[in-house]
Amino acid sequence: MATSHRILLTGANGYTAQHILWELLEAGHSVRATARSQSKIDLIKKSFSKYANTPKLDFGVVPDITVPKAFDEVLKSTPPFDTVVHTASPFFLTSTDPTVYLEPAIKGTTEILENIVRVAPTVKRVVILSSFAAVATLHENPISDPPKVYKRDDWLATTLEEAKLATNPVVSYPASKKLAEEAAWNFVKEGKGNFELVTLVPGVILGPVFDPKQIEDPETLNFSTWQIYNMLLKPGVKSSDPVPPTSIWQYVDVRDLARAHLLAVTKPEAAGKRWITVGGEMSHQEWANYLREALPEKSDVIPIGEPANIAKPEGWFTYSAPETVDVLGLTYRTRAETIKDLAPQLAEFAAKAAAAPAAA
Ligand code: NDP
């Protein structure tokens, strides 16, 4: 019989984390889900009613992940934790203040690792949700000859000193992910933790929201889903609008990434490694094409752009991560499936936004 793990999951109310929570629970593991407030926990409880009143799922509030001993209380458990999955970290590109990204990403990571050592030494594996932005240098010229092929040994070059001075979030957000992940690897290399580390390195995360009923206002969607909504379906968008150019082509379906987390928790081979989780490459134009097909009733809304113009510019960077399939054992959905399952949700969110009274 497969081993049942006792897992602490941080940022459990997040877009990705709710899918992770589902994967872990459906696989028979017992999870303590944390969020920043009780109201966010209450939303999870509603969406996870199948598990909320069972011994498989309990909750903890961590109001500020950057303060010393932030995780001490939630790390105490009977039975004790053997696994921690850390996903809580800011992702948006709207602030020019680098500290809003750097502080929670880096301190949140070092704090949980230090707290594990002190309070939960039974933890044998820590899985951290990093980002392809920690691997690739996205803010520089994406084109080279030959094209750069990013692999899991690559690291974004930005240093902490550079990141602290950056006012461009396209520099400071990726740096927050790189420096947080690097801090975790250094922690392990320095022999400070008695646990195995696994990091997951996804491209842009897309696909359906776990429970669309939670979304009262589409402006509260997680950043990657909001970007698609904002570009292609938000009230006011018209079919004659241009399709914005694509800067990051690498994407992954949120459900595949959630399954990658389950594999990262359970597979012995996952330990001590970074796993690039990218299901393929896709442009905004392809999103527009697929959405127009999936939502014919929105043909006057979703930008037409240049439907045939879907080729990646020559020399644009790419990625290579066969080990994620061959060793970790992850399989990926098709892009059509990713879009088909998100499209009706986006249409529903747009209808909600159109029906909402205009802000005073
Ligand atoms: P969400 O915004 O839905 O979830 C982020 C989670 O982190 C939420 O629980 C959020 O809590 C928490 N969080 C954000 N800022 C802070 C903070 N300052 N202190 C404590 N907790 C915080 O995002 P996603 O699901 O999209 O992202 C999850 C993870 O995946 C992040 O680590 C992100 O960097 C990474 N990632 C995302 C990609 C994407 O395309 N979406 C691509 C690659 C990596 P709250 O709800 O209270 O704000």
The protein residue with its alpha carbon nearest to ligand 1, atom 45, reads 36
Question: Position 161: which residue type?
Answer: E
Q: How much distance in Å is there from the Cα of 315 to the middle of ligand 1?
A: 31
Mean pLDDT computed over 309-323:
96
Task: From 91, 110, 199, give the residue whose CB has the most ligand 1 atoms within 8 Å, as the site to mutate.
Answer: 91
Using alpha carbons, select from 15, 10, 8 the residue that is nearest to residue 214.
15
- Residue 58 domain-assigned (yes or no): yes
| Closest-lying ligand 1 atom to the alpha carbon of residue 35 | 9
CATH for 197: 3.40.50.720
In the sheet with 280-281, reading across from the earlier edge strand, the strands are 204-206, 250-253, 280-281
pTM for the structure as a whole: 0.98
pLDDT at 360: 44
Q: pLDDT confidence of 287, banded at 50, 70, 90? A: very high
Q: Is residue 296 part of a domain?
A: no
Mean pLDDT of 101-123: 98
Within-domain flag for 57? yes
Give tens-digit pLDDT for 58-77: 999 999 999 999 999 999 99
Q: Which of 9, 13, 16 to mutate to test the pocket of ligand 1 (most atoms within 8 A of CB)?
A: 16
In 3D space, the residue among 37, 35, 36 whose CA is nearest the CA of residue 18 turns out to be: 35
Helix ranges (DSSP H) in the chain = 15-26, 38-47, 49-52, 99-102, 108-119, 160-165, 169-189, 223-232, 254-266, 284-294, 322-326, 335-355
Q: Is the pLDDT of residue 28 over 60?
A: yes
Q: Which domain holds residue 39?
A: 6-284+314-354
Q: Grade residue 359 by pLDDT with cuts at 50, 70 and 90.
A: low
44-53 pLDDT, tens digit each: 999 999 999 8
Question: Is 278 inside a domain boundary?
Answer: yes
**Within-domain flag for 260:** yes
% of the chain at pLDDT higher than 90: 96
DSSP-assigned letter for residue 244: P
Per the structure, the count of domains in the chain is: 1
- Domain-embedded: residue 195: yes
